[in-house]
């Protein structure tokens, strides 16, 4: 059943004849991320809701079709609870917000990931296509349901893909109404799309998507909102604007996971498990000594310390370059899906973000949201010769960060995010993408990848030698002739090594 209402002079809602239709929406507002299950899937949890608009021309009804445009592959469905405003809402309180909702219905917030990169955040083209916001089929009276006990489910070709409730939302439904009303008047008929839970994925021509919102406790349901995908025949014109483009990141987010997208697991770039184990044991002091023996004297990143006591990072460098702040350049490069965000979104397991901030400690170069993104994607850590915002929160996340310390200011105070995966300077050291980064209590060093294995082996051998020398000093021997070792002490140490190796071999034979 469709519930219909009229309004008196005081904007108080009352029942009206069934013949009166729900007001046409003047605007459609959608939230980017609102369910805990979806946030966990994406590896980022917002501190506050953020929104985008969809055109009213994207509206559709149950039983309709949606076109996947020619030359695209990543059309995705999103089952959502849609709120339709019943009475005008402007600066309403959280306690009063739900009373301004007239109806609840099902929605499918369709999106085309092929067009997402250039409009990311605004979603103008990726979410604004004709038929990309079907609603219905029936509308529930908001007064008859508990906003914290609504359920949304989605099926594709009869298979259940999404099943979650409003209790699993990060931001309650009423909060979205109250928050939006702070900024502009919500008018009768306006639609709020309240976000999708985990399970959203790619659909292809011929697929049939069904979305249902119900209130199990009240025994009410919208029925199933049905949409069929059809193949479009008209390609986009590259002379008029940017063309669709996809990469493995877009495929992963559209499908929900690399596995669902048919992509191979991400291998740790540039470093084997065996080499990683060696570098985790080798101190930066020893590694630095080995680099100096090979004529490399400028591989130390100066001026940075760890945010976590005892932190050790080992990984391959993913570089990010900031240039000095300039207002016109920040306008063109600082907003939207800028180089900083692209860098953190594209991280692979085992990588270390290394940031060129020119030694400028007077602002933050990352904060807790980007640190959480890096941690979720399996990054080994971050090294920046600038400052860190949300310093304590970043430490709580557990991501090792080497920096010049805390600073509360935002990036744009001193920097413009400029480029990713280029050769940079950090703390006086040149860093190239793929270089090996090792950091501990003594600081951070940069090791050319082709030298890492031999440098690690030699550093560990030196560690064994230094440990034996320390034992002799502890036993009362003077350091003269022992550190560094003369021929006599060298012979003793060589004999010690032979005996130790024999003992280890015998022990292995006994165990076998």
**Within 13 A of 423's CA, how many CA atoms are on the CB side?**
3
CB of 210 closer than 8 Å to CB of 137: no
Of 310, 312, 309, 290, the residue nearest 299 (C-alpha): 290
Instruction: Give strand pairing partners of 446.
Output: 437
Instruction: Confirm or deny that 29 is annotated as ligand binding.
Output: no
Degrees to nearest 5, angle at CA 487 with 486 and 493: 90
- At 442, phi and psi to the nearest 5? -85, -10
CA dihedral over 489, 495, 498, 499, signed as positive or negative = negative
Instruction: Confirm or deny that 368 is annotated as ligand binding.
Output: yes
Distance (Å) of CA 378 to CA 186, 395, 413:
41, 16, 29
- At residue 418, the 3 state secondary structure works out as strand
Helices (H), 334-451: 339-345, 368-376, 391-397
Instruction: Confirm or deny that 367 is annotated as ligand binding.
Output: yes
Instruction: Confirm or deny that 369 is annotated as ligand binding.
Output: yes
DSSP code at position 450:
G
Instruction: Confirm or deny that 239 is annotated as ligand binding.
Output: no
Instruction: Confirm or deny that 439 is annotated as ligand binding.
Output: no
Distance (Å) of CA 318 to CA 29, 167, 377, 384:
36, 39, 13, 12
- At 464, phi and psi to the nearest 5? -60, -45
CB of 286 closer than 8 Å to CB of 301: no
d(CA 38, CA 42): 6
Query: Residue ranges for the binding site?
Result: 367-370, 389-390
Query: Residue ranges for the binding site for substrate?
Result: 367-370, 389
Query: Residue ranges for the binding site for Mg(2+)?
Result: 390
């Amino acid at each position: 059943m469709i519930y219909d209402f009229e309004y008196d002079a005081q904007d108080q809602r009352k029942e009206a004849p069934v013949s009166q239709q729900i007001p046409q929406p003047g605007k459609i507002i959608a939230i980017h991320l609102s369910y805990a299950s979806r946030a966990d899937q994406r590896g980022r949890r917002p501190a506050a809701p953020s929104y985008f608009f969809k055109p009213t021309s994207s509206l559709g009804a149950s039983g309709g079709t949606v076109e996947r445009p020619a030359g695209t592959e990543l059309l995705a469905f999103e089952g959502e609870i849609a709120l339709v405003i019943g009475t005008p809402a402007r600066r309403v309180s959280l306690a009063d917000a739900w009373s301004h909702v007239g109806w609840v219905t099902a929605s499918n917030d369709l999106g085309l990931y092929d067009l997402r990169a250039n409009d990311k955040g605004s979603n103008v083209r990726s979410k604004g296509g004709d038929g990309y916001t079907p609603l219905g089929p029936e509308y529930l009276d908001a007064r008859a349901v508990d906003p914290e006990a609504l359920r949304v489910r989605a099926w594709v070709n009869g298979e259940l893909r999404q099943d979650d409730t409003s209790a699993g939302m990060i931001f309650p439904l009423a909060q979205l109404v109250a928050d939006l009303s702070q900024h502009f008047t919500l008018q009768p008929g306006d639609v709020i799309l309240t976000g999708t839970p985990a399970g959203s994925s790619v659909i292809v021509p011929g697929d049939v998507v069904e979305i249902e919102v119900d209130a199990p406790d009240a025994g009410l349901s919208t029925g199933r909102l049905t949409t069929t995908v059809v193949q479009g025949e008209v390609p986009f014109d590259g002379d008029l604007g940017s063309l669709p483009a996809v990469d493995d990141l877009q495929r992963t987010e559209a499908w929900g996971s690399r596995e669902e997208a048919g992509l191979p697991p991400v291998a740790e770039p540039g470093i084997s498990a065996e080499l990683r184990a060696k570098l985790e044991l080798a101190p930066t002091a020893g590694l630095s000594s080995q680099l100096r023996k090979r004529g490399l004297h400028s591989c130390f990143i100066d001026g940075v310390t760890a945010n976590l006591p005892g932190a050790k990072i080992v990984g391959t460098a993913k570089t990010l370059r900031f240039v000095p702040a300039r207002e016109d350049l920040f306008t063109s490069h600082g907003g939207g899906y800028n180089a900083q965000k692209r860098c953190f979104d594209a991280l692979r397991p085992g990588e270390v973000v290394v940031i060129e901030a020119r030694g400028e400690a007077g602002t933050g170069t990352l904060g807790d949201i980007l640190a959480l993104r890096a941690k979720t994607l399996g990054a080994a850590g971050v090294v920046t010769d600038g400052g860190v915002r949300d310093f304590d929160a970043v430490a709580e996340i557990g991501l090792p960060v080497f920096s010049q310390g805390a600073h509360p200011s935002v990036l744009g105070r001193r920097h413009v995010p400029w480029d990713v995966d280029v050769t940079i300077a950090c703390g006086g050291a040149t860093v190239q993408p793929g270089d090996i980064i090792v950091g501990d209590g003594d600081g951070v060093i940069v090791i050319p990848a082709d030298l890492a294995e031999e440098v690690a082996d030699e550093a560990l051998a030196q560690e064994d030698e230094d440990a034996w020398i320390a034992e002799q000093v502890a036993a009362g021997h003077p350091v003269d002739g022992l550190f560094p070792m003369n021929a006599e002490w060298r012979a003793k140490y060589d004999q010690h090594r032979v005996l130790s190796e024999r003992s280890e071999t015998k022990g292995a034979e006994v165990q076998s």
